[in-house]
A and B are shown apart, each in its own frame.
Chain A
Amino acid sequence: MEANEHEHVIEVTGLRRVYGGGFEAVRGIDFSVRRGEVFALLGTNGAGKTSTVELLEGLAAPAGGRVRVLGHDPYTERAAVRPRTGVMLQEGGFPSELTVAETARMWAGCVSGARPEREVLALVGLEAKAGVRVKQLSGGQRRRLDLALALLGDPEVLFLDEPTTGLDAEGRRDTWELVGALRDAGTTVLLTTHYLEEAEHLADRLAIMHEGSIAATGTPAEVTASEPSRITFELPEGYFLGDLPPLAELGVSDHTVDGRTVRLRTRELQRAATGLLMWAHGAGVELRRLDVRSASLEEAFLGIAKDASAGTTAPKEYAA
């Protein structure tokens, strides 16, 4: 397939969604997803992820702003978009009295260019459950059936709303591998998740949503890099904070002391750690419980959520 690397498969500008009661679930967001990219919408429950994805899937019309999927409006130009997208909803949507095979056959009859049902069921490890009624499946098996149906039509764009919620560790690993393989095959994937490690593992780029707005976008590394790294240790017996080298000279931006536990925050991790360890070596003391780590997505996420609820930040844009 001839594909322009930089073509934006999903474009969202000023998107708003307001529910019947007047609740504004999505408050003017912008982002775009390039062809072949895995893009994650990350956020706590109620952040507006599903409300956003449903607009991209064309299930509802936006209250304001614009969505384009593969160059079309997914709500008003349904027929142009649907044959090229696959959707995994946040929950279910299968008649409980049909078997797995009957469900897949029904869906295959509604999908252009459907692959053989058995093939996609095998892809998600459900081939042995073909004769089982949907109501007898576990929550994780239902998620995998949903994923199988989303993949039936070999979609160019795949929407996955919390694809691994309810899966055990192994099932989650399998789903991650599958999404990775799809990306390698050129599928564009937009997924929502509240698992930070999932976004970190899968996403080429991500947007952190908070209360209907996007608080930060960029690659996981870019979003993480905005947060300071941390050094934690226990002060040796008989030493005080003042015995350490001047913290500002080590590049430490912030510190807290809790009993004998010292926590330093720095944007220059190597400099701060080296200075600290040289000092300990020179003083001949051992820094117990020493823990040196770069910021994780989790800290970035918590920091952004905290800033955003304090109302202090405009969206952070890290995208290159």
Chain B
Amino acid sequence: MSTTTTTPVSRMTSLARAELTLLGRSKGTLVAALFVPLVLPLSVRSAAEEMDLAEVGLTPGAVVLPAAVGFSLLFAVYSALVGVYVVRREELVLKRLRTGELRDAEILGGSALPSVLTGLAQCLVLITACAVLLDMSAPSAPHLAVLGLLSGLVMCAALAAVTASFTRTAESAQVTPMPLLMISMIGSGMFVPLELLPDQVASVCELLPLTPVVTLVRGGWTGDLSAYESLGALATAVAWTLLAVFAVRRRFRWEPRH
């Protein structure tokens, strides 16, 4: 008789595998997650050509590449995952998973894995495409770019769980991610680098969740981020992630409201 005992890794793998199958069967999510982040960087590129980038020491590539990473995190990870969490809750899947050996964090983590890996793969494709098409040099501080990307993936998954906490239905899951999408696109240096904004506005925008990700990825290529600035950005990303985890522990809803 088999007496295999499950481990957190084996349980999450099993759940992630099922979620990957579901992701492949969810056409709407796939289109939004895979297509949008491929198209949006093109509009950033045409916008970048209008800007006076040279004055602040930036190239179009240094604007488009971090923006592409940001779009991927926002669409392929954050908003796709809000939908996954909400639909699984409405289907009572989360409740059923909680009757078993999976811990709460494993349920959220395992469900997030396919979206996170999709986002990661998409970022790598986009980064390669940007580097080749925009004729960019090799990154001067690749560790910062890696750090930015990884912290962004974790933070977006955690923020998706927060958004799902106050999203009641699959329909409203189309709307509730909008505020963060908008704020990030406008204020996190994706369309317009913070360097081109008035100082006071820029210092507020630095505190937005996606800004440190964009900053670190851009700094990874340009190499003009000081250690102090890098740590500051990293601290902001970690703070948002911890805040999200705290909110999820307190507020996440595992069952539909009656």
Q: A and B: partners?
A: yes
Of B16-24, B179-187, B206-214, B238-246, which stretch is located at the interface?
B16-24
With a cutoff of 8 Å between Cβ atoms, the chain A residues found around residue B91 in the complex are 92-96
Is A93's CB under 8 angstroms from B103's CB? no
The answer to whether residues A113 and B21 also contact, given A82-B101, A83-B101, A89-B92 and a CB cut-off of 8 A, is no
Tell which of A89, A93, A97, A114 touches B26, judged by Cβ atoms closer than 8 Å.
A97
Which residue of the partner chain A has the closest CB to B107? A110
A82 to B98, CA, bound (A): 10
A: number of interface residues (CB 8 Å): 30
Which residue of the partner chain A has the closest CB to B254? A59
Is B101's CB under 8 angstroms from A110's CB? yes
With a cutoff of 8 Å between Cβ atoms, the chain B residues found around residue A113 in the complex are 1-5
Is A94's CB under 8 angstroms from B93's CB? yes
Chain B 81-136 interface residues, beta-carbon cutoff 8 Å to A: 88, 91-93, 95-103
With a cutoff of 8 Å between Cβ atoms, the chain B residues found around residue A106 in the complex are 14-15, 17-18
What is the number of contacts between chain A and chain B, taking CB atoms within 8 Å? Answer: 88
With a cutoff of 8 Å between Cβ atoms, the chain A residues found around residue B18 in the complex are 95, 98, 102-103, 105-106
Chain A 106-122 interface residues, beta-carbon cutoff 8 Å to B: 106-115
The answer to whether residues A82 and B100 also contact, given A102-B18, A106-B14 and a CB cut-off of 8 A, is yes
The answer to whether residues A91 and B92 also contact, given A78-B103, A110-B100 and a CB cut-off of 8 A, is yes
With a cutoff of 8 Å between Cβ atoms, the chain A residues found around residue B88 in the complex are 95
Chain A 179-197 interface residues, beta-carbon cutoff 8 Å to B: none
Tell which of A57, A93, A105, A109 touches B11, judged by Cβ atoms closer than 8 Å.
A109
Which residue of the partner chain A has the closest CB to B25? A97
Task: Kindly state whether residue A87 has any CB partner on chain B within 8 Å.
Answer: yes
The answer to whether residues A109 and B13 also contact, given A94-B91, A102-B18 and a CB cut-off of 8 A, is yes
A87 to B105, CA, bound (A): 20
- Give the interface size class of chain B: 20 to 34
Task: Kindly state whether residue B10 has any CB partner on chain A within 8 Å.
Answer: yes
With a cutoff of 8 Å between Cβ atoms, the chain A residues found around residue B2 in the complex are 113-115
User: Min CB distance, B87 to chain A, in Å?
Assistant: 8
With a cutoff of 8 Å between Cβ atoms, the chain B residues found around residue A91 in the complex are 92
A89 to B102, CA, bound (A): 16
A79 to B97, CA, bound (A): 14
Tell which of A82, A102, A109 touches B10, judged by Cβ atoms closer than 8 Å.
A109
With a cutoff of 8 Å between Cβ atoms, the chain A residues found around residue B17 in the complex are 106, 109
User: Min CB distance, B104 to chain A, in Å?
Assistant: 9
Q: Return the CB mask of A41-82 against B: 1 if under 8 Å, else 0.
A: 000000000000000011100000000000000000011001
User: Min CB distance, A177 to chain B, in Å?
Assistant: 23
A229 to B201, CA, bound (A): 84
Is B99's CB under 8 angstroms from A111's CB? no
Q: Return the CB mask of A111-144 against B: 1 if under 8 Å, else 0.
A: 1111100000000000000000000000000000
A-B contact pairs, 18 of them (CB 8 A): A82-B99, A83-B101, A87-B99, A89-B96, A92-B92, A93-B91, A93-B92, A95-B88, A97-B22, A97-B25, A102-B21, A106-B18, A109-B10, A111-B101, A112-B3, A112-B4, A112-B5, A113-B1
Residues of chain B at the chain A interface (Cβ within 8 Å): 1-6, 10-11, 13-15, 17-18, 21-22, 25-26, 88, 91-93, 95-103
> Given A89-B99, A102-B18, A108-B14, list of 9 further CB < 8 A pairs?
A59-B98, A87-B100, A93-B97, A94-B91, A109-B15, A109-B17, A110-B11, A110-B97, A112-B4
